[in-house]
A and B are shown apart, each in its own frame.
Chain A
Amino acid sequence: MGDIGHGDRVKVVKDKKEFFGALMPSVTDFVVIKLDSGYNVGFAPEGVTMTLVEKGASLAEKRLPRPVRPELPRLNIISTGGTIASKIDYRTGAVTSQFDADDIIDAIPSLAEIANIDGTLLFNILSENMRPESWSELAQCVYNEVRAGADGVLVTHGTDTLGYSAAALSFMLQVPVPVVLVGSQRSADRPSSDNVVNAICAAVAATSDLAGVFVVMHEDASDDTCLVHQGTRTKKMHTSRRDAFRSVNASPIARVSYQERSLRFLCDHTDRGGCELSVRPQIEPKCALVKFFPGASPAIVDYYVAQGYRGLVIEGTGLGHVASDWISHVKKAADVMPVVMTSQCVYGRVCDRVYDTGRDLLSAGAIEGDDMLSETALVKLMWVLGQTSDRFEIARLLKTDVAGEISADATRTRSTFEELP
């Protein structure tokens, strides 16, 4: 087939019938061409002859010029990949992220009506390929942009691990402007994608009076409103729906109207400028999240100890329980590393003072994760271990609300008479 490449116009002859079209990438060994009607069809390779008719245009993207509105606030878009910036990889036939930040701005030109946009391409990966080290890098990048004068930062991110990254940024950054993570559930290559509504609403939130780290995604199946979630409280609760992201154990911070480009607060929040900018990106990635299930072997705990792990989150049942045969293993672990209990119920607070196994866990040295999401607890544990190696400081930080991850009234049960004013 010589130097025939994708996009070239070819003639395919099969069973004495001729077909003309552009040669397309194929995921199987079939020869695939795009007919003049726009349809793609495939031919089994046996007995196919293909000849070049003329060289075609490459399959490269055509770019539109970017409008500039210098009187608007400065918004920096940090692109990390994900569906909001994805299009089809015609070689594998699957959706991958190939866009850089400029592509996002090209794809959603109305962003330019809200802010003067700069783009930073940090990663180009699907979010399942993010690592704790990536969170540190991302936090540093956000810090640099805010220090350089950005009035808000938008982080485009794959939705799969968006909640983890949002929690990590929440712990690592103290920030006087809004930092908004946004993604899309339905790929950007479909006219019905949620990417435009999410990005516009995220830009509204990122130029609003908020300060802190947030997630902005669809509120329901319609394109009318998005919710602003606290970065440490957000969980992806559905594989495919637009409204997959929910605030757990907390109210969403605000609602954004897509049509009106306006934001309405739903609960208390930190105002823009309400704190100093700082970054603490150090992290200890050697931590694990273990899910307990009926009959689960406690040997998994021993494994992490033996492997030299530095911290463990156990996602227990109900109020935060594991089977009695785990207690001695948890004790051994807790002697050498922090062990945090969370609940697979997702909603509600862990309380290990109600039933025997809970009390046993506490005396074994486990720390109640209060009403933190398991994922947030894991990220927090990594971050805390990155900040200090002092046992008591670690325990204190884990029990303290650092970035809205624990409801305020959680501290009440821990108060002592000495601490009273």
Chain B
Amino acid sequence: MKEHDYKKVGLKAGLEIHQQLNTTSKLFCSSPTELRDTKDASYEFYRYLRPSKSEMGEIDRAAIEEGIGTRRFTYKAYESTCLVENDDEPPLEMNLEALKIALQIALLLQMQPFEQAHTMRKLVIDGSNTSGFQRTALLAAGGYISLSSGSVQIDTLSIEEEAAQIVDKDVYSIDRLGIPLVEIGTAPDVATPKMARELALAIGTILRACKVKRGIGTIRQDINISIAGGARVEIKGVQALDLIENIVRLEVTRQLSLLKIRDELQERGAGVGKPVEVSSIFAHTASNVLEKKHVWGLLLRCFAGLVGKDIQPGRRLGSEFADHAKKRGVTGIFHTDELPRYGITSRETEALLRFLKAEESDAVVILADENVKKCVEAMYAVMDRAKAATEGVPEETRRALSNGCSEYMRPLPGAARLYPETDVSPIAVPTALIDRIKAHLPERLDDRMHRYRQEFLLNEELARQIAWSENSQLFEQVMRLWAGPDGSYGRDEVKDAATFVVRTLEGTIAELKRDDVPVDRLTRESILDVFRLVNFKTISKEGVPEILRSLAECPTKAASDVAAELGFVMLSKPELQAIVDDVVQSRLEFVKAKGVSAVGPLMGVVMKQVRGKADGKLVNEVLRAKIGSVLQ
């Protein structure tokens, strides 16, 4: 794909990053923050939501579009679900563990915390919150982060409740609802797609230094994008870092295309008609997308050829129309740029054009549904979107698609969606608290990597890998085994051990997982036990993968028992000497003929017998000594 000249198009982008915090309990109740399998839901209940007015007396436009009191939502609840999560009890005060982590993140981003935080209700009536709002508090403002491509202002950091997980249309699971998360909003300082990715990575690195949740879905990026003459568009739900560049690039493509279409429409003097019922034309249709349905049409004066025009790979202006129609519950739209098709005949198409008095330069959109009210509402939505096309790019919230494109979601929310959560008192954030948190900020991951290089003599790649990993604490705990009194472990020994531990934690366990070994059942303690056996030289390093595999399969067993069962317990030096004696005695002729160079071939013979039970270095040493004595 050809790269845009981002400076010329006036790209301005900013990120909004949502990161779940790894606290024991939720932000406003004592329920655990573990995710559940919806199969384990113990009951469900059903609710309707209606938008409420802000304290300024306004209703948020985005909330209105989500529908007013007509959608019946199903909530799946678990035995751990509490009444606060069901919105059947007022919230507890804010979780202070979460507040502390959020303030740490704010300070690492050089932000200034507010002296008093106010918990607000952010209206969200798509069903993802049982209460109809998300509790959120703005904690800090005015930070920055330095990147190789420039510095980016960090405008806001708020702490808020995670929404419930959607499982099906209008069905939500309550397990995720209320997990604390921070929302970090940057200024629109990003000038290129590459810079957007770099920014996300840099913020992600800071987040991972703190107590945050890891894994898919625990961090999400929303991207705000605009170009000169275009409009601010928020693209939500970007879960993969690698998608960011593509999203930015393709949104620029979309806005440029929409601007081009606008220019063309204005030049042609285009206009948009009113929705008209056209069911009679299709009364005897053979098309299964229209038969037995109400069909409504809309004349788009001078739109011919433009409705079917690509604006993103695989998406046309018509796709934007369809997004708005689908939002009102119809399955999609058809337009004359693509007809006849879908069983709609050319005769029917011509009749449609005639009926609406369409000329060659015009286009017609139709849509169908059993419910006439849905048809009308959907067509009006298409009409509004078509009118917007004559004016340029509409401001809106869009949903990221996996190929980097996006689809319409809802209007941009305004300030009216926030009003005070009066069940929670304002929280004073005194300077003394900030100073205390400042004095104990988590180690930055770059610093941690350098420390690992120095302390454990790891190479840069391995040091970075383990410093960024959620296993870094476990790694440090294991490496304490190799600390001992000064000098009890040589530098090489520490380096070998550290390298081995990193490879096991980051490599072996992942490989076992790929083989469908249930490694999630390995406890911190059992992993530590295995390394203790290595540290005591009770087992050799070669045995570790097999022992971990067995431990994962039978988590109740002790590591030492598993090692013994698998025969990975190390031979004592006399035991090893006896085996070496046997091998050398049975090959005396060979040894005498080859002299000292017999060590190489015989190493292989011995190792075959003692693999996993003896350290190669020791075998080499014993074999050398034996051959030496035979030759003498």
Binding site for B on A (CB under 8 A): 7, 14-15, 17, 22, 24, 27-28, 30, 32, 34-44, 57, 59-62, 88, 90, 93-95, 110, 185-186, 188-193, 196-197, 220-224, 239-242, 259
In the complex, the chain B residue whose C-beta lies closest to that of A39 is B138
Decide: A37 near B52, CB < 8 A? Known: A191-B125, A196-B69.
no
Can you list 16 contacts pairing A with B, beta carbon distance less than 8 Å? A17-B142, A28-B116, A30-B115, A37-B138, A37-B156, A38-B417, A38-B418, A41-B116, A41-B117, A42-B116, A43-B114, A43-B116, A93-B425, A192-B47, A197-B48, A222-B45
- The A-B contact count (CB < 8 A) is 147
Contacts of B56 in A (CB 8 A): 7, 22, 34, 57, 59
Q: Which residue of B lies closest to A239 (CB)?
A: B89
Closest to A258 in B: B48
Instruction: Check B493 for interface membership: any CB of A closer than 8 A.
Output: no
Known: A37-B415, A38-B414, A191-B125. A241 touches B69 (CB 8 A): no
- CA–CA, A417 to B494, complex, Å? 102
Residues on A with beta carbons closer than 8 Å to the beta carbon of B260 = none
Assess whether B267 is interfacial by the CB under 8 Å rule: no
A120 to chain B, nearest CB (A): 24
> In the bound complex, do residue A240 and residue B83 qualify as a contact, i.e. CB atoms below 8 Å apart?
yes
Q: Which B residues touch A36, using CB under 8 A?
A: 415
**Chain B 266-286 interface residues, beta-carbon cutoff 8 Å to A:** none
- Chain B's nearest CB lies how many Å from the CB of A34? 7
* Chain B: CB-nearest residue to A15: B112
A-facing mask of B417-454, CB < 8 A → 1, else 0?
A: 11110100110100000000000000000000000000
Q: How far is the CA of A328 from the CA of B419 in the complex (A)?
A: 59
Q: CA A160 – CA B236 in complex, angstroms?
A: 43
Task: Given A41-B116, A223-B72, decide whether A93 and B50 contact each other with a Cβ distance below 8 A.
Answer: no
Whether A192 pairs with B130 at a CB distance below 8 angstroms is yes
Whether a CB of chain A sits under 8 angstroms from the CB of B55 is yes
Whether a CB of chain A sits under 8 angstroms from the CB of B133 is: yes
Selected from A34, A190, A221, the residue in CB contact (under 8 A) with B121 is A190
Distance in Å from the Cβ of A366 to the closest Cβ of chain B? 39
B49 proximity list for chain A (CB < 8 A): 191-192
Given contacts A30-B426, A61-B57, contact A191 B52 (CB under 8 A): yes
- Roughly how many angstroms separate A24 CA and B123 CA in the complex, as a whole number? 19
Kindly state the separation between the CA atoms of A188 and B132 in the bound complex, as whole angstroms.
12
Asked whether A224 and B57 contact (CB < 8 A) given A37-B138, A39-B138, the answer is no
Chain B residues with CB below 8 A from A240, complex form: 83, 88-90
Q: Taking each of A14, A88, A185, which has the highest tally of chain B beta carbons within 10 Å of its own beta carbon?
A: A88
- A171: shortest Cβ distance to chain B, in Å? 32
For B59, the closest partner residue in chain A by CB is A62
A108 CB to closest chain B CB (Å) equals 9
Partner of B426, one of A35, A42, A94: A42
Contact mask B38-77 → A, CB, 8 Å, 1/0?
0000000111111111111110000100000100100000
Query: In the complex, how many angstroms separate the beta carbon of A87 from the nearest chain B beta carbon?
Result: 8
Q: Top 3 A-B pairs ranked by shortest CB distance? A: A191-B132, A42-B116, A38-B418
Q: A38-B416, A93-B422 are in contact. Are A60 and B57 (CB under 8 A)?
A: yes
Task: List chain A residues, Cβ under 8 A from B120.
Answer: 38-40
- Cβ < 8 Å to A, chain B residues 91-140: 112, 114-118, 120-123, 125, 130-133, 136-138
Q: Are A42 and B418 in contact (CB under 8 A)?
A: no
Q: Which residues of B are found within 8 Å of A40, using beta-carbon distances? A: 118, 120, 138, 418, 420
Contact B88 A241 (CB under 8 A): yes
Cross-chain contact of B114 among A27, A38, A42 (Cβ < 8 A): A42
The reply to whether the CB of B560 lies closer than 8 angstroms to some CB of chain A is no
Residues of B contacting A192 in the complex (Cβ-Cβ under 8 angstroms) = 47, 49, 87, 130-132
Which residues of B have CB within 8 Å of A37?
138, 156, 415, 418
B114 touches A90 (CB 8 A): no
B19 close to chain A: CB less than 8 A = no
Is the C-beta of B158 less than 8 angstroms from some C-beta in chain A?
yes
Instruction: Find the B residue at minimum CB distance from A218.
Output: B88
Q: Which B residues are in CB contact (< 8 Å) with A30? A: 115-116, 426, 428
Q: How many residues of B contact A (CB 8 A)?
A: 55
Q: In whole angstroms, what is the CA distance A17 to B143 when docked?
A: 12
Do B116 and A44 have beta carbons less than 8 Å apart?
yes
**Contact partner, B46, options A41, A191, A223, Cβ 8 Å:** A223
The smallest beta-carbon distance between A273 and chain B, in angstroms, is 34
Residues of A within 8 A of B499 (CB): none
The listed residue (A7, A44, A57, A110) touching B115 by CB distance below 8 A is A44
In the bound complex, do residue B115 and residue A42 qualify as a contact, i.e. CB atoms below 8 Å apart?
Answer: yes
- B52 and A190 within 8 A (CB): yes
Contacts of B416 in A (CB 8 A): 38
CB of B25 closer than 8 Å to a CB of A = no
Q: How far is the CA of A33 from the CA of B58 in the complex (A)?
A: 17
Query: Can you name the residue of chain B whose Cβ is closest to the Cβ of A30?
Result: B116
Residues in B with CB closer than 8 Å to A28 are 116, 426, 428
Q: Please determine whether B418 and A191 come into contact, CB atoms closer than 8 angstroms.
A: no
Q: Complex formed: what's the CA distance from A42 to B118 in Å? A: 7
Q: Check if B239 is an interface residue, CB within 8 A of chain A.
A: no
For residue A221, which residues in chain B have a CB less than 8 angstroms away from its CB? Answer: 45, 86, 88
| Contact call B46/A39, Cβ cutoff below 8 A | no
Contacts of A224 in B (CB 8 A): 46
Contact with A along B197-221 (1 / 0, CB 8 A): 0000000000000000000000000
Beyond contacts A39-B156, A193-B50, A193-B52: 16 other A-B pairs, Cβ-Cβ < 8 A, are: A14-B115, A17-B112, A28-B428, A37-B138, A40-B138, A42-B116, A42-B117, A42-B426, A93-B425, A186-B87, A188-B52, A190-B87, A190-B131, A191-B132, A196-B50, A222-B47
Q: Inside 8 A of A191's CB, which chain B residues have their CB? A: 49-52, 63, 123, 125, 131-133
Q: Are A189 and B52 touching (Cβ within 8 A)?
A: yes
Closest CB of chain B to A110's CB: distance in Å? 8
Bound-state CA distance A60–B57 (Å) is: 7
Considering only CB atoms, which chain B residue lies closest to A45 in the complex? B115
By a CB distance below 8 angstroms, the chain B residues around A188 are 52
Q: Which residues of B contact A38 (CB under 8 A)?
A: 54, 120, 122, 414-418
Residue of B nearest to A44 (CB): B115
Give B446-494 interface residues, CB cut-off 8 Å to A: none
A43: min CB distance to chain B, Å: 6
CB distance from B138 to the nearest CB of A (A): 4
Say whether A34 contacts B415, CB under 8 Å: yes
Q: Is the CB of A59 within 8 A of B414?
A: no
CB distance A242 to B88 under 8 Å?
yes
Please indicate the chain B residues that have their CB under 8 angstroms from the CB of A59 in the complex: 55-57
A27 proximity list for chain B (CB < 8 A):
425-426
Contact between chains at B55 and A41 (CB < 8 Å):
no
Contacts of A34 in B (CB 8 A): 56, 415, 418
Collect the chain B residues with CB atoms within 8 Å of residue A241's CB: 83, 88-89
Chain A minimum-CB-distance residue to B121: A190
Residues of B within 8 A of A61 (CB): 53, 57
The answer for the CA separation of A22 and B56 in the assembled complex, in Å, is 10
In the complex, what residues of B have CB within 8 A of residue A222's CB?
A: 45-47
Given A223-B46, A241-B88, residue A41 in contact with residue B114 (CB < 8 A): yes
Shortest CB distance A183–B (Å): 15
Task: List residues of chain B with CB within 8 A of the CB of A196.
Answer: 48, 50, 69
Q: Which of A17, A186, A223 contacts B48 (CB 8 A)?
A: A223
Q: What residue in chain A is nearest B63 (Cβ atoms)?
A: A191
A281 to chain B, nearest CB (A): 36
Report Cα–Cα, A284/B86, bound state, in Å: 42
Cα distance A189–B421 in the bound complex, in angstroms: 10
Known: A37-B418, A38-B414, A191-B125. Is A90-B83 also a contact (CB below 8 A)? no
